[in-house]
Structure 1
Amino acid sequence: MQVEVWSDVVCPWCYLGRTHLRQALDSLDFRDDVRVTYRSFELDPGAPTGLTTATDDLLAAKYGMTPEQARQAQQRMEQRAAAEGLTFRMGRLRSGNTRAAHRLLHLARESGRQEEVAEALHRAYFTDQRDVYAPESLSAIATEAGLAAGEVREVLAGDRYEDAVEADERLARELGATGVPFFVVDRRFGVSGAQPAPVLADVLRRARGRIVA
Protein backbone atom coordinates (compact mmCIF):
# COMPACT_ATOMS: atom_id res chain seq x y z
CA MET A 1 0.00 0.00 0.00
CA GLN A 2 1.29 3.43 -0.92
CA VAL A 3 0.44 6.62 0.96
CA GLU A 4 1.50 9.85 -0.70
CA VAL A 5 1.52 13.00 1.40
CA TRP A 6 1.67 16.45 -0.14
CA SER A 7 2.94 18.98 2.36
CA ASP A 8 5.19 21.98 2.93
CA VAL A 9 8.03 22.37 5.38
CA VAL A 10 6.59 25.56 6.89
CA CYS A 11 2.96 24.41 7.16
CA PRO A 12 1.95 23.78 10.80
CA TRP A 13 -1.04 21.69 9.77
CA CYS A 14 1.31 19.49 7.76
CA TYR A 15 3.39 18.77 10.86
CA LEU A 16 0.20 17.88 12.73
CA GLY A 17 -0.94 15.76 9.78
CA ARG A 18 2.35 13.86 9.69
CA THR A 19 2.02 13.21 13.42
CA HIS A 20 -1.52 11.92 12.97
CA LEU A 21 -0.46 9.67 10.10
CA ARG A 22 2.33 8.20 12.20
CA GLN A 23 -0.14 7.54 15.02
CA ALA A 24 -2.58 5.96 12.58
CA LEU A 25 0.08 3.68 11.14
CA ASP A 26 1.22 2.62 14.60
CA SER A 27 -2.32 1.45 15.33
CA LEU A 28 -2.46 -0.89 12.32
CA ASP A 29 -1.36 -4.50 12.23
CA PHE A 30 -0.31 -4.09 8.58
CA ARG A 31 1.96 -1.13 9.30
CA ASP A 32 4.93 -2.80 7.62
CA ASP A 33 2.97 -3.10 4.37
CA VAL A 34 2.51 0.67 4.05
CA ARG A 35 5.01 2.79 2.14
CA VAL A 36 4.84 6.54 2.78
CA THR A 37 6.14 9.06 0.26
CA TYR A 38 6.29 12.80 0.93
CA ARG A 39 5.61 14.97 -2.09
CA SER A 40 6.19 18.65 -2.68
CA PHE A 41 3.62 21.40 -2.32
CA GLU A 42 4.94 24.93 -1.86
CA LEU A 43 2.55 27.24 -0.04
CA ASP A 44 4.23 30.28 -1.57
CA PRO A 45 6.12 29.16 -4.68
CA GLY A 46 6.53 32.74 -5.83
CA ALA A 47 8.39 33.85 -2.70
CA PRO A 48 11.77 35.30 -3.67
CA THR A 49 14.75 33.12 -2.88
CA GLY A 50 16.93 34.51 -0.13
CA LEU A 51 14.30 36.86 1.26
CA THR A 52 12.10 36.06 4.27
CA THR A 53 9.18 37.82 5.92
CA ALA A 54 7.90 37.67 9.48
CA THR A 55 5.11 35.08 9.43
CA ASP A 56 2.90 37.23 11.67
CA ASP A 57 3.10 40.04 9.13
CA LEU A 58 2.37 37.65 6.26
CA LEU A 59 -0.72 36.27 8.02
CA ALA A 60 -1.99 39.74 8.83
CA ALA A 61 -1.64 40.85 5.20
CA LYS A 62 -3.07 37.65 3.72
CA TYR A 63 -6.14 37.38 5.93
CA GLY A 64 -6.79 41.02 6.74
CA MET A 65 -5.84 40.63 10.39
CA THR A 66 -4.39 43.14 12.78
CA PRO A 67 -0.91 42.26 14.09
CA GLU A 68 -2.47 41.31 17.42
CA GLN A 69 -4.98 39.00 15.75
CA ALA A 70 -2.15 37.33 13.84
CA ARG A 71 -0.23 36.78 17.08
CA GLN A 72 -3.32 35.31 18.72
CA ALA A 73 -3.79 32.93 15.79
CA GLN A 74 -0.20 31.77 16.20
CA GLN A 75 -0.74 31.26 19.92
CA ARG A 76 -3.80 29.12 19.22
CA MET A 77 -1.70 26.98 16.91
CA GLU A 78 0.89 26.56 19.67
CA GLN A 79 -1.86 25.38 22.00
CA ARG A 80 -3.21 23.00 19.38
CA ALA A 81 0.24 21.51 18.87
CA ALA A 82 0.80 21.18 22.62
CA ALA A 83 -2.39 19.14 22.88
CA GLU A 84 -0.82 16.77 20.34
CA GLY A 85 2.44 16.51 22.28
CA LEU A 86 4.33 18.85 19.95
CA THR A 87 6.19 22.02 20.83
CA PHE A 88 5.58 24.87 18.41
CA ARG A 89 7.28 28.23 18.88
CA MET A 90 5.44 30.44 16.43
CA GLY A 91 6.38 33.87 17.74
CA ARG A 92 9.41 34.68 15.60
CA LEU A 93 8.90 32.45 12.58
CA ARG A 94 9.94 33.65 9.13
CA SER A 95 8.22 32.71 5.86
CA GLY A 96 10.02 32.34 2.55
CA ASN A 97 10.81 30.13 -0.43
CA THR A 98 10.95 26.43 0.50
CA ARG A 99 12.07 25.05 -2.88
CA ALA A 100 15.54 24.06 -1.63
CA ALA A 101 14.06 22.16 1.32
CA HIS A 102 11.76 20.27 -1.04
CA ARG A 103 14.68 19.34 -3.26
CA LEU A 104 16.43 17.89 -0.22
CA LEU A 105 13.34 15.81 0.55
CA HIS A 106 13.66 14.28 -2.92
CA LEU A 107 17.29 13.44 -2.19
CA ALA A 108 16.14 11.95 1.11
CA ARG A 109 13.62 9.78 -0.70
CA GLU A 110 16.32 8.34 -2.94
CA SER A 111 18.51 7.81 0.13
CA GLY A 112 15.81 6.03 2.14
CA ARG A 113 15.75 8.81 4.78
CA GLN A 114 12.68 10.79 3.79
CA GLU A 115 10.74 10.31 7.03
CA GLU A 116 13.77 11.34 9.07
CA VAL A 117 14.44 14.43 6.98
CA ALA A 118 10.78 15.47 6.91
CA GLU A 119 10.67 15.24 10.70
CA ALA A 120 13.97 17.08 11.05
CA LEU A 121 12.81 19.97 8.87
CA HIS A 122 9.48 20.35 10.65
CA ARG A 123 11.07 20.16 14.08
CA ALA A 124 13.86 22.55 13.09
CA TYR A 125 11.38 25.16 11.91
CA PHE A 126 8.53 24.92 14.39
CA THR A 127 10.31 23.80 17.55
CA ASP A 128 13.89 25.00 17.27
CA GLN A 129 13.23 28.10 15.12
CA ARG A 130 16.11 27.25 12.81
CA ASP A 131 16.46 28.68 9.33
CA VAL A 132 15.02 26.29 6.71
CA TYR A 133 15.89 28.58 3.79
CA ALA A 134 19.62 29.32 3.86
CA PRO A 135 21.87 26.62 2.34
CA GLU A 136 24.18 26.47 5.35
CA SER A 137 21.36 25.83 7.80
CA LEU A 138 19.56 23.40 5.48
CA SER A 139 22.79 21.48 5.00
CA ALA A 140 23.25 21.11 8.74
CA ILE A 141 19.67 19.96 9.30
CA ALA A 142 19.82 17.42 6.47
CA THR A 143 23.15 15.92 7.49
CA GLU A 144 22.03 15.67 11.10
CA ALA A 145 19.08 13.64 9.78
CA GLY A 146 21.41 11.19 8.06
CA LEU A 147 22.00 12.48 4.54
CA ALA A 148 25.51 12.48 3.12
CA ALA A 149 27.07 15.93 3.44
CA GLY A 150 28.60 15.86 -0.04
CA GLU A 151 25.31 15.01 -1.72
CA VAL A 152 23.49 17.67 0.26
CA ARG A 153 25.99 20.32 -0.79
CA GLU A 154 25.75 19.21 -4.42
CA VAL A 155 21.95 19.46 -4.41
CA LEU A 156 21.91 22.86 -2.74
CA ALA A 157 24.57 24.25 -5.09
CA GLY A 158 22.64 23.35 -8.25
CA ASP A 159 19.14 22.70 -9.53
CA ARG A 160 18.90 18.95 -8.99
CA TYR A 161 15.31 17.79 -8.30
CA GLU A 162 13.76 21.03 -9.57
CA ASP A 163 11.80 18.99 -12.12
CA ALA A 164 10.74 16.51 -9.43
CA VAL A 165 9.32 19.26 -7.23
CA GLU A 166 7.39 20.74 -10.13
CA ALA A 167 6.11 17.30 -11.16
CA ASP A 168 4.79 16.72 -7.64
CA GLU A 169 2.94 20.01 -7.72
CA ARG A 170 1.42 19.31 -11.14
CA LEU A 171 0.24 15.93 -9.89
CA ALA A 172 -1.31 17.53 -6.82
CA ARG A 173 -3.34 19.84 -9.05
CA GLU A 174 -4.39 16.94 -11.26
CA LEU A 175 -5.60 15.06 -8.19
CA GLY A 176 -7.62 18.04 -7.03
CA ALA A 177 -5.48 19.22 -4.12
CA THR A 178 -6.16 22.81 -3.13
CA GLY A 179 -4.25 22.81 0.15
CA VAL A 180 -2.10 20.71 2.41
CA PRO A 181 -1.67 18.30 3.98
CA PHE A 182 -3.20 16.14 1.28
CA PHE A 183 -3.08 12.35 1.63
CA VAL A 184 -3.60 9.92 -1.25
CA VAL A 185 -3.81 6.17 -0.72
CA ASP A 186 -3.00 3.99 -3.73
CA ARG A 187 -4.21 6.81 -6.02
CA ARG A 188 -7.79 5.88 -5.10
CA PHE A 189 -8.56 7.46 -1.73
CA GLY A 190 -7.89 11.12 -0.98
CA VAL A 191 -8.02 12.91 2.36
CA SER A 192 -7.53 16.65 2.84
CA GLY A 193 -6.40 18.39 5.99
CA ALA A 194 -4.79 17.31 9.26
CA GLN A 195 -7.44 14.69 9.97
CA PRO A 196 -7.33 12.89 13.35
CA ALA A 197 -5.40 9.64 13.53
CA PRO A 198 -8.56 7.47 13.80
CA VAL A 199 -9.90 8.98 10.57
CA LEU A 200 -6.67 8.25 8.72
CA ALA A 201 -6.52 4.74 10.18
CA ASP A 202 -10.07 4.08 8.97
CA VAL A 203 -9.20 5.23 5.45
CA LEU A 204 -6.17 2.93 5.43
CA ARG A 205 -8.25 -0.02 6.66
CA ARG A 206 -10.85 0.57 3.95
CA ALA A 207 -8.13 0.81 1.33
CA ARG A 208 -6.60 -2.40 2.66
CA GLY A 209 -9.97 -4.13 2.40
CA ARG A 210 -10.28 -3.13 -1.23
CA ILE A 211 -6.83 -4.54 -1.95
CA VAL A 212 -7.51 -7.82 -0.17
CA ALA A 213 -10.87 -8.19 -1.87
Structure 2
Amino acid sequence: MRVEIWTDVACPWCYVGRARFDRALAAFTHRDRVEVVHRSYELNPQAENGDVPIIDAIAAQYGRTREQQVAREEQAAAMAASVGLDFRIGGRVFGNTFDVHRLSHFANARGVQDRLLDLAFRANFAEERSIYDRQTLLNVAVEAGLDVDEVRQVLDDREAYAEQVRADERLAAELGAGGVPFFVLDRRYGVSGVQSVEMFTQALEQAWTERSAA
Protein backbone atom coordinates (compact mmCIF):
# COMPACT_ATOMS: atom_id res chain seq x y z
CA MET A 1 0.00 0.00 0.00
CA ARG A 2 1.26 3.47 -0.84
CA VAL A 3 0.75 6.54 1.32
CA GLU A 4 1.58 9.90 -0.25
CA ILE A 5 2.17 12.81 2.11
CA TRP A 6 2.21 16.45 1.01
CA THR A 7 3.92 18.81 3.46
CA ASP A 8 5.73 22.12 3.68
CA VAL A 9 8.63 22.47 6.12
CA ALA A 10 7.30 25.91 7.13
CA CYS A 11 3.99 24.39 8.27
CA PRO A 12 3.66 23.67 12.02
CA TRP A 13 0.68 21.39 11.45
CA CYS A 14 2.80 19.30 9.05
CA TYR A 15 5.45 18.99 11.76
CA VAL A 16 2.88 17.54 14.15
CA GLY A 17 0.88 15.65 11.53
CA ARG A 18 3.91 13.70 10.29
CA ALA A 19 4.74 12.64 13.84
CA ARG A 20 1.20 11.47 14.52
CA PHE A 21 1.08 9.55 11.26
CA ASP A 22 4.44 7.96 12.06
CA ARG A 23 3.06 6.75 15.39
CA ALA A 24 0.04 5.23 13.71
CA LEU A 25 2.19 3.58 11.05
CA ALA A 26 4.64 2.18 13.63
CA ALA A 27 1.76 0.35 15.33
CA PHE A 28 0.13 -0.77 12.08
CA THR A 29 0.25 -4.56 11.60
CA HIS A 30 1.20 -4.31 7.93
CA ARG A 31 3.64 -1.39 8.28
CA ASP A 32 6.41 -3.29 6.45
CA ARG A 33 4.21 -3.37 3.36
CA VAL A 34 3.43 0.35 3.36
CA GLU A 35 5.42 2.60 1.04
CA VAL A 36 5.54 6.23 2.19
CA VAL A 37 6.09 8.83 -0.53
CA HIS A 38 6.88 12.41 0.52
CA ARG A 39 5.61 15.10 -1.83
CA SER A 40 6.14 18.85 -2.03
CA TYR A 41 3.67 21.65 -1.35
CA GLU A 42 4.49 25.35 -0.99
CA LEU A 43 2.17 27.25 1.30
CA ASN A 44 3.59 30.59 0.13
CA PRO A 45 5.25 30.08 -3.27
CA GLN A 46 5.55 33.84 -3.83
CA ALA A 47 7.28 34.48 -0.51
CA GLU A 48 10.64 36.19 -0.44
CA ASN A 49 13.38 35.44 2.06
CA GLY A 50 14.05 38.13 4.62
CA ASP A 51 13.99 38.81 8.33
CA VAL A 52 10.25 39.32 8.93
CA PRO A 53 9.17 37.24 11.96
CA ILE A 54 6.85 34.42 10.93
CA ILE A 55 4.31 35.49 13.55
CA ASP A 56 3.96 38.97 12.03
CA ALA A 57 3.94 37.72 8.44
CA ILE A 58 1.25 35.07 8.97
CA ALA A 59 -0.87 37.38 11.14
CA ALA A 60 -0.88 39.95 8.33
CA GLN A 61 -1.57 37.29 5.68
CA TYR A 62 -4.69 36.01 7.44
CA GLY A 63 -5.88 39.25 9.03
CA ARG A 64 -5.14 38.24 12.61
CA THR A 65 -3.72 40.24 15.46
CA ARG A 66 -0.26 39.37 16.68
CA GLU A 67 -1.80 38.05 19.89
CA GLN A 68 -4.08 35.72 17.93
CA GLN A 69 -1.16 34.37 15.93
CA VAL A 70 0.93 33.85 19.07
CA ALA A 71 -1.98 31.86 20.50
CA ARG A 72 -1.97 29.64 17.41
CA GLU A 73 1.77 29.13 17.80
CA GLU A 74 1.24 28.15 21.42
CA GLN A 75 -1.45 25.71 20.34
CA ALA A 76 0.93 24.15 17.82
CA ALA A 77 3.68 23.97 20.44
CA ALA A 78 1.37 22.11 22.83
CA MET A 79 0.37 19.67 20.10
CA ALA A 80 4.03 19.12 19.22
CA ALA A 81 4.91 18.45 22.85
CA SER A 82 2.16 15.82 23.04
CA VAL A 83 4.07 13.72 20.48
CA GLY A 84 7.51 14.42 21.91
CA LEU A 85 8.56 17.24 19.58
CA ASP A 86 10.29 20.45 20.60
CA PHE A 87 8.74 23.67 19.32
CA ARG A 88 10.11 27.14 19.93
CA ILE A 89 8.10 30.31 19.47
CA GLY A 90 9.27 33.71 18.32
CA GLY A 91 12.50 33.13 16.41
CA ARG A 92 11.36 31.81 13.03
CA VAL A 93 11.24 34.09 10.01
CA PHE A 94 9.09 34.14 6.87
CA GLY A 95 10.56 32.86 3.62
CA ASN A 96 10.42 30.69 0.52
CA THR A 97 10.70 26.91 0.88
CA PHE A 98 11.30 26.05 -2.79
CA ASP A 99 14.97 25.19 -2.21
CA VAL A 100 14.07 22.90 0.68
CA HIS A 101 11.64 21.05 -1.57
CA ARG A 102 14.25 20.76 -4.32
CA LEU A 103 16.71 19.32 -1.83
CA SER A 104 14.04 16.91 -0.63
CA HIS A 105 13.77 15.44 -4.12
CA PHE A 106 17.53 15.26 -4.44
CA ALA A 107 17.63 13.48 -1.08
CA ASN A 108 15.00 11.06 -2.37
CA ALA A 109 17.24 10.23 -5.31
CA ARG A 110 19.99 9.44 -2.80
CA GLY A 111 17.74 7.43 -0.47
CA VAL A 112 17.76 9.82 2.52
CA GLN A 113 14.65 11.93 1.94
CA ASP A 114 12.89 10.98 5.17
CA ARG A 115 16.03 11.81 7.18
CA LEU A 116 16.43 15.17 5.43
CA LEU A 117 12.83 16.16 6.11
CA ASP A 118 13.08 15.16 9.77
CA LEU A 119 16.18 17.31 10.18
CA ALA A 120 14.69 20.25 8.25
CA PHE A 121 11.53 20.25 10.38
CA ARG A 122 13.64 20.01 13.53
CA ALA A 123 15.92 22.84 12.42
CA ASN A 124 12.93 25.07 11.73
CA PHE A 125 10.72 24.40 14.72
CA ALA A 126 12.88 22.91 17.49
CA GLU A 127 16.06 24.90 16.86
CA GLU A 128 14.74 28.00 15.05
CA ARG A 129 17.52 27.85 12.49
CA SER A 130 16.51 29.55 9.27
CA ILE A 131 15.72 26.93 6.65
CA TYR A 132 16.01 29.73 4.07
CA ASP A 133 19.69 30.24 4.87
CA ARG A 134 22.08 28.49 2.48
CA GLN A 135 24.48 27.40 5.21
CA THR A 136 21.64 25.92 7.26
CA LEU A 137 20.47 23.93 4.24
CA LEU A 138 24.00 22.70 3.62
CA ASN A 139 24.42 21.66 7.24
CA VAL A 140 21.06 19.86 7.32
CA ALA A 141 21.77 18.09 4.02
CA VAL A 142 25.21 16.91 5.14
CA GLU A 143 23.79 15.71 8.47
CA ALA A 144 21.23 13.73 6.46
CA GLY A 145 24.08 12.00 4.63
CA LEU A 146 24.34 13.98 1.40
CA ASP A 147 27.57 15.06 -0.27
CA VAL A 148 28.21 18.75 0.35
CA ASP A 149 29.54 19.45 -3.16
CA GLU A 150 26.51 17.81 -4.77
CA VAL A 151 24.21 19.80 -2.49
CA ARG A 152 25.94 23.04 -3.54
CA GLN A 153 25.42 22.11 -7.19
CA VAL A 154 21.70 21.53 -6.60
CA LEU A 155 21.29 24.82 -4.76
CA ASP A 156 23.22 26.73 -7.43
CA ASP A 157 21.08 25.34 -10.26
CA ARG A 158 17.60 26.79 -9.73
CA GLU A 159 16.09 24.28 -12.15
CA ALA A 160 17.59 21.21 -10.46
CA TYR A 161 14.63 19.11 -9.22
CA ALA A 162 12.33 22.08 -9.78
CA GLU A 163 10.04 20.14 -12.11
CA GLN A 164 9.63 17.39 -9.49
CA VAL A 165 8.43 20.00 -7.01
CA ARG A 166 6.01 21.50 -9.51
CA ALA A 167 4.73 18.07 -10.51
CA ASP A 168 3.92 17.28 -6.87
CA GLU A 169 2.04 20.55 -6.56
CA ARG A 170 0.08 19.92 -9.75
CA LEU A 171 -0.87 16.48 -8.48
CA ALA A 172 -1.98 17.94 -5.16
CA ALA A 173 -4.28 20.33 -7.02
CA GLU A 174 -5.67 17.49 -9.14
CA LEU A 175 -6.46 15.51 -6.00
CA GLY A 176 -8.20 18.48 -4.37
CA ALA A 177 -5.65 19.42 -1.73
CA GLY A 178 -6.33 22.91 -0.42
CA GLY A 179 -3.58 22.87 2.16
CA VAL A 180 -1.20 20.67 4.10
CA PRO A 181 -0.59 18.24 5.60
CA PHE A 182 -2.45 16.12 3.08
CA PHE A 183 -2.31 12.31 3.13
CA VAL A 184 -3.49 10.08 0.29
CA LEU A 185 -3.77 6.34 0.90
CA ASP A 186 -3.59 4.16 -2.21
CA ARG A 187 -5.31 6.93 -4.18
CA ARG A 188 -8.50 5.79 -2.44
CA TYR A 189 -8.66 7.98 0.66
CA GLY A 190 -7.58 11.50 1.42
CA VAL A 191 -6.89 12.65 4.96
CA SER A 192 -6.44 16.38 5.35
CA GLY A 193 -5.03 18.31 8.28
CA VAL A 194 -3.36 17.44 11.54
CA GLN A 195 -5.50 14.46 12.54
CA SER A 196 -5.21 12.27 15.63
CA VAL A 197 -3.13 9.11 15.79
CA GLU A 198 -6.40 7.19 16.08
CA MET A 199 -7.74 8.77 12.87
CA PHE A 200 -4.59 7.82 10.98
CA THR A 201 -4.81 4.29 12.37
CA GLN A 202 -8.41 4.00 11.22
CA ALA A 203 -7.53 5.29 7.75
CA LEU A 204 -4.65 2.82 7.39
CA GLU A 205 -6.79 -0.10 8.48
CA GLN A 206 -9.70 0.85 6.23
CA ALA A 207 -7.48 1.39 3.19
CA TRP A 208 -5.71 -1.92 3.82
CA THR A 209 -8.99 -3.83 4.24
CA GLU A 210 -10.48 -2.44 1.04
CA ARG A 211 -7.22 -3.05 -0.84
CA SER A 212 -7.21 -6.68 0.30
CA ALA A 213 -10.86 -7.11 -0.67
CA ALA A 214 -10.20 -5.65 -4.11
Note whether the superposition's TM-score is higher than 0.5. yes
1:174-189 correspondence to structure 2 within 5 Å:
174-189=174-189
Q: Give me the whole-angstrom Cα distance separating, in 1, the residues matched to 2:190 and 2:71.
A: 32
Equivalent residues, number: 212
User: Which SS does the other structure have where 1:191 is aligned?
Assistant: strand
**Residue 60 of structure 1 corresponds to which residue in structure 2?**
59
Counterpart of 1:115? 114
**Match of residue 195 from structure 1:** 195
Any idea what SS the aligned residue of 1:190 has? strand
Letter in 2 for 1:183: F
Structure 1 regions of 5+ residues with no counterpart? none
Question: What are the equivalent positions in structure 2 for 1:51-200 lying under 5 Å apart?
Answer: 51-158=50-157, 159-200=159-200
Q: Please list the CA deviations of residues 14-38 of structure 1 after superposition, one character each: whole Å capped at 9, or x if unmatched.
A: 0111101110111112111111111
Structure 2 residue identity aligned to 1:129: E
SS in 2 for 1:187: coil
Give, in whole Å, the separation in 2 of the partners of 1:208 and 1:79. 31
Shift, 1:52, TM fit: 4.3
Q: Distance in 1 between matches of 2:131 and 2:32?
A: 31
What is the Cα deviation at residue 108 of structure 1?
Answer: 1.2
Q: Following superposition, which runs of at least 4 residues in structure 1 exceed 3 angstroms of deviation?
A: none
- Runs of at least 5 residues in structure 2 that lack an aligned partner in the other structure: none
More deviation, 152-161/62-71: 62-71
Query: Whole-Å Cα distance in 2 between the matches of residues 212 and 80 of structure 1?
Result: 34
TM-score (structure 1 length as normaliser): 0.95
Provide the identity percentage. 45
- Normalising by structure 2, report the TM-score: 0.95
Instruction: State the Cα deviation string for residues 31-79 of structure 1 (Å, max 9, x = none).
Output: 111111110100000112x434211111221222222332232222212
Partner of 2:7: 7
